[in-house]
Structure 1
């Protein structure tokens, strides 16, 4: 296996390079003005470590996989074309009414409750760029009013005259019958051919989302159109950059569905949060390979803190209607909770609450934290970590970035010390405690809202700052077992390298598997299997179009199920792809019951309310080589290694600085155990071991961090 996978974050560009059995991790600062430059720098560094030339590598690797935050940033910055929308006559205000709850989408619960100050987000489609056509399809797909081409031409010309640079077609009930959207597309292409100057991108809602609900389906298509131009040019630029270096294969782009595809088979909407979701995919593979049970993944980078859940068995949680920015959408997206708390998050004084707040604003990579000495003036989490003695100023990011402690002290003193009436070191402790508490609260809320028990989960911590803050987060969240996977600092990039070529297609369906009124089981097998066959056909065509053989394509059936009218919907994955008998129906109901009971407690199931299928989903994919994770076991004895030095380190909860042993990467050998307080500095990250915790490395390169008061035993070995 020869493979390059890259995850571009807000601060660092992470690269994982697999060259046969040789694995290399590399980092470079993200270059926001041209992402290809950061990509090239990270790859150059990896090739240098491997003793290979970049040109030779790109000519021989089997794939280059790319996860980017470009779409996310463009949406946050509202940088995109003027988008026009064509809707069914009578539904002109659906987008702007936004189900009446649009003011609260994307806000935290406290802000959602503040209706007096509620402000709706600025719409991506202004009201003067919405046009209606006279057509109608009913709820089962029958045509009631046909499309009138002259009416369509009139509405399209008005949109163009008003400055529309992209057009979205989102008609009522298009998920049941998309023929009218196709007819409108043909009319537009007649007047504005794609091969001529002045052509306009046209996106159809029936091709973007298979779920019912005009508002969320229209939103999904609008965001896709808004990001289309940015992603088209950026991905072409990256692809051209690879071709210039001798790479002739198609570039692969990571999707937020937990898979990947060629750039010409990727919608812009599918790239949102793709990097962090690649990390969740890596955690899923780790859980499946090693049997470590329920996992909560924690990715703390320079800009954000991402939380993902992987219950035992490796089944991911999906968001049924995720919020992207301030808009609800309806795309199959792996669930991810993102907090604006990373190493570059800015700390400030909140005068109303008289406390320190951290994030969501970030110093990014340019100018970066104050200690980067690049002009940053605001104190960040990294500045606090440096001032507390956790970071080695001469050995940060493998020595590529020299840190200036004086800048950190000055920034914290100027922004916080007078307000808090504290010395800079004590103010830095407040920053560290605040950010750890924020992230711990996020994990607890995530687990409890999804039916998990905190004590049952192992935290898989990665990202450049994950090992530095894991102890403080886990202690406050009540988690006693932390696992740092192999290549923890670039684990999302590693996860991207393990993802499969995959396309997910879904459709809303009203299927009652058990009707409590008639006490009958579902028996319309042909109807349900027809849905499944159509979704499989679409997935197969997607993959065959990218050069894969039809007989290589595999399918996985998933259904979103619930009891009666409950709001809680659960995604269930099945080993069968067809429902042909009463036995199959009972097997489906039993699988749903088991998953529901495991997630929310045995006895909470409510079959007396009925069992319904809300959505049928088919994941079509190609199996491929993956980076293997071995069992995390070690049966030998352990000793305490020799430290390389001692220095004064300040810990939250300790009044005075502690003379703390400092270890290098050699301490992460399976023969050793390190008891806190301690600091372990490696090329790409720093492990902070607080009092009451111990580090146990494994032969496979993973590292356990265990709470000694909560876990007397060891997952991998006895302790001397």
Structure 2
């Protein structure tokens, strides 16, 4: 297997390079003005370590996979074209009313409750760019009012004359009958042939989302159109860069549904959060292949902190109606909770609460934290880590980025001297403690709202800054086991390398598998099987269009299910693809019951309220080669303590005085060693902070365990004394 996977984040571009049996990781600063430059730098470094040229690598690899946060950043910054929308007559205000809840979507609960200061986000679609057409289809797809073609032509002309640079068609009940939307597309192309319409994309809501709900379906298509231009040019730029270097295959783009596809089969909406979700995919694969059990993944990079859950068995949590930025959309997206707290997150003083606040604003990669010495003036989490002694100024990022400790201390003092009568080190402690507590609260909240117990989960920590903060986060969250997977600093890129070509299609459906009032089971098997066949056909067409053999396509049936009128809806994956008879219906109900009981506790099931299906979903995919993880079990290993290579004074948040702490290098991460905290282990890609009361145990496979050890006792057969380097 020969493969290149790149995750372009807000601060670093991470590369995971597979060249037969050689696995290589590398990093470069993200170049926001031209992503291809950072991409090339990271790839060149990886190729150099593998002993091949970039041209040879791109000529022989089977694929190049690309995950990015570019779409997320464009939405936050509000950078996009003017979008015009065609809706059904009478629904002109649907988007701007936003169900009466638009002021609070995308905000934390505290701000949602601040009604006096409620403000709606700046709309992506100006009101004057919304036009209505005379037509109507009812909730079961019957045409009530035929489409009036001349009316459509007039409304389209007005949108174009008013400067629309993208056109969205979002008609009522188009999920049940898309004929009118498809006919409008034909009319637009008749009125404005491709050579006249130019680069104005036309998007149909029925093709973007198969779920009912006029507002969220329209908003999903609007967001897709708003990001279309940015993603189109960025992906073309990257594709051109690859072709110039000799790569002649289509580039593959990671989707937030947990799969990937070629750019011509990718909607811009599907790229939102694709990098962090690739990490969740890697966590799922690791859990399934090693028997790790319940996992809460923690990806702390330079810009954000991403939390994902993978319960035992690998069933992922989906967001049914995720909020992207400030807008609710309808898309099958793997659930991810993102906090604005990464290494580059800026620390500031909140005068209202009299406390230090972390993020969400980030210093990014340009100019970066103050300690980068590239013009950054505001203190960040990385600056605090440097002042506390956790980072080696000469060997940060393998010496790629020299750090200026004096600049970091000066930035902290300048930012907080007017509000806090404390030295830089004391303020840095507060910053470290605050960011750890915020992340711990995020993990606890995520587990509790998803029906998990903290003590049942292992924290899987990765990302460049994860090893520095894992102990502090886990201690505050009540987690006693932390695992750093192999290639932890580029684990999201590794996860991208394991993704499958996959498309998910879904449609709303009202199916009562068990009617509590009638005490009867569902028996309209043809209806539900027709839904499944329709969705399988769409998935197969997507994959065949990209050059895959139809006979190689596999399908996974999923349904969103709930008990009666409960608000809790659970995504359930099944091992059957057709419903044939009473036995199959009972199998669907039992599978739902088992998953619900595992997630929320046995006995919480309520079949007496009835069992309903809200959505039918089919994942169509192609199996392929993946990076294999070996067993992580190292029990019974006789361990010794390695020889420290140096010693440094370090400040821990829970210790009043500084602590002389042994420093270890990469050689100490061999499987026969154990390191008791306090300690630091520096590698070329990250730094492991082993806080007091914890111990570090490497595994033969390259993973590293951090285990809570209140008594600080281990089964150590030999203890070697510190020797200065």
TM-score (norm 2): 0.98
Separation in 2, partners of 1:197, 1:135: 24
> Aligned ranges for residues 82-101 of structure 1 at < 5 Å?
82-101=82-101
1:319 match? 319
C-alpha distance after superposition, 1:323-379 (max 9, x if no partner): 000000000000000000000000011111111001000000000000000010000
**Root mean square deviation of aligned Cα:** 1.3
Residue 613 (structure 2) pairs with residue 613 (structure 1): yes
In the TM superposition, residue 146 of structure 1 has moved relative to its aligned partner by 1.0
Separation in 2, partners of 1:713, 1:499: 39
In the TM superposition, residue 718 of structure 1 has moved relative to its aligned partner by 10
1:213 match? 213
Q: Name the SS for the 1:420 alignment partner.
A: coil
Separation in 1, partners of 2:120, 2:424: 40
C-alpha distance after superposition, 1:602-650 (max 9, x if no partner): 1111111110000000000000000000000224200000000011000
> Aligned ranges for residues 547-696 of structure 1 at < 5 Å?
547-634=547-634, 635-696=636-697
1:279 match? 279
> Aligned ranges for residues 37-436 of structure 1 at < 5 Å?
37-196=37-196, 198=198, 200-436=200-436
Q: Name the SS for the 2:663 alignment partner.
A: strand
CA 1:431 to 1:327, structure 2 compared with 1: closer, same or farther past 3 Å?
same
CA 1:711 to 1:310, structure 2 compared with 1: closer, same or farther past 3 Å?
farther
Separation in 1, partners of 2:361, 2:228: 26
C-alpha distance after superposition, 1:455-513 (max 9, x if no partner): 10000000000011000000000000000000000000000000000000000000000
1:481 match? 481
Separation in 2, partners of 1:440, 1:18: 34
Separation in 2, partners of 1:115, 1:183: 43
Q: Which runs of 4+ in 1 moved over 4 A?
A: 710-714, 717-720
Separation in 1, partners of 2:113, 2:218: 26
CA 1:712 to 1:144, structure 2 compared with 1: closer, same or farther past 3 Å?
farther
Separation in 2, partners of 1:711, 1:152: 74
In the TM superposition, residue 195 of structure 1 has moved relative to its aligned partner by 3.5
Q: Name the SS for the 1:562 alignment partner.
A: strand
Separation in 2, partners of 1:679, 1:710: 19
C-alpha distance after superposition, 1:100-129 (max 9, x if no partner): 111110000000001110001111111111
Answer whether contact 1:637 1:719 (CA < 8 A) is retained: no
Separation in 2, partners of 1:312, 1:192: 53
Larger displacement relative to structure 2 (135-144 or 495-504): 135-144
Answer whether contact 1:505 1:539 (CA < 8 A) is retained: yes
Larger displacement relative to structure 2 (628-637 or 654-663): 628-637
Separation in 2, partners of 1:624, 1:135: 46
Answer whether contact 1:480 1:711 (CA < 8 A) is retained: no
Q: Name the SS for the 1:383 alignment partner.
A: helix
1:523 match? 523
In the TM superposition, residue 711 of structure 1 has moved relative to its aligned partner by 10
Answer whether contact 1:193 1:199 (CA < 8 A) is retained: no
Separation in 1, partners of 2:686, 2:714: 27
Answer whether contact 1:636 1:718 (CA < 8 A) is retained: no
2:698 match? 697
Answer whether contact 2:676 2:712 (CA < 8 A) is retained: no
In the TM superposition, residue 198 of structure 1 has moved relative to its aligned partner by 3.6
C-alpha distance after superposition, 1:553-607 (max 9, x if no partner): 0000000000011110000000000011111111110111111111111111111
1:445 match? 445
CA 1:69 to 1:718, structure 2 compared with 1: closer, same or farther past 3 Å?
farther
In the TM superposition, residue 288 of structure 1 has moved relative to its aligned partner by 0.3
Answer whether contact 1:294 1:456 (CA < 8 A) is retained: yes
In the TM superposition, residue 178 of structure 1 has moved relative to its aligned partner by 0.4
Separation in 2, partners of 1:649, 1:381: 16
Q: Name the SS for the 1:256 alignment partner.
A: coil
C-alpha distance after superposition, 1:239-298 (max 9, x if no partner): 000000000000000000000000111000000000000000000000001111100000
Q: Name the SS for the 2:649 alignment partner.
A: strand
C-alpha distance after superposition, 1:30-82 (max 9, x if no partner): 00000000000000111111111111111111100000111111101111110
TM-score (norm 1): 0.99
2:722 match? none
Answer whether contact 2:694 2:712 (CA < 8 A) is retained: no
CA 1:713 to 1:567, structure 2 compared with 1: closer, same or farther past 3 Å?
farther
2:459 match? 459
Unaligned 5+ segments in structure 1 are none
Separation in 2, partners of 1:710, 1:290: 29
